Amino acid sequence: MARAILLRQLTLGPRSRLQLERKLRDRNVPMEVAAALLDRFEDVGLVDDAEFARMWVRGRGEAKSLGRSALRRELNEKGITGDLAEEALEELTPDAEEESARRLLARRVRPFDRTDPAARDKELRRLVGLLARKGHSPGSAFRLAAQVIDADSGDNVLEQRPY
């Protein structure tokens, strides 16, 4: 029964060892059985926390434009901590993180009266808050949002920086 639970979970998508342990605990599988089965799944490569962490950082960093701190927090919730999490986060280069944030801002910037300083400040605060909630550092969030807002045309912001 425990093997079927694990295989079903893994067909839904990659899972960390902690996530699978929690699922087995929720299904009242004895912890000795769960540990032995998870060890076997790790031996044959079906459960690999390092690979899971790399895939999670790559996928969530690109798809959701998340910054390092948000990704670190999500990995921690999945049971990936310490060196394993830091190794996965090293794959997210600062340039890639910044480009992801720029793309997000380019999609989310709203038209505003560029001659009105109050309207500019309001949009700047909104965009900085958006990046802050996505786990980007305050300094880079402010810098990137200001660059997007100060661009000549709001619809082609990505041309400011070469790829």
* 76, 57: one domain: yes
Report whether pLDDT(154) > 60: no
- pLDDT one-digit tens code per residue, 38-47: 999 999 999 9
Rounded to an integer, what distance in angstroms lies between the CA atom of residue 107 and that of residue 134?
A: 15
Q: Output the average pLDDT for the chain.
A: 89
Note whether 57 and 81 are same-domain residues. Answer: yes
Say if residue 123 is in the same domain as residue 69: no
| pTM, full prediction | 0.78
Please check whether residue 147 is in contact with residue 160, taking contact to mean a CB–CB distance below 8 angstroms: yes
Alpha-carbon gap, residue 87 to 67, rounded angstroms: 15
- In this structure, are 102 and 152 located in the same domain? yes
User: Are 60 and 21 within one domain?
Assistant: no
Residue 161, pLDDT above cutoff 70: no
Count of domains in the chain?
A: 3
pLDDT at residue 10 is higher than 90: yes
How many alpha carbons fall within 13 Å on the CB side of residue 133? 8
Provide the domain limits for residue 12. 2-43
Residue with tokens 């802050």: 132
Residues 114, 64 within the same domain: no
> Which DSSP letter does residue 15 get?
-
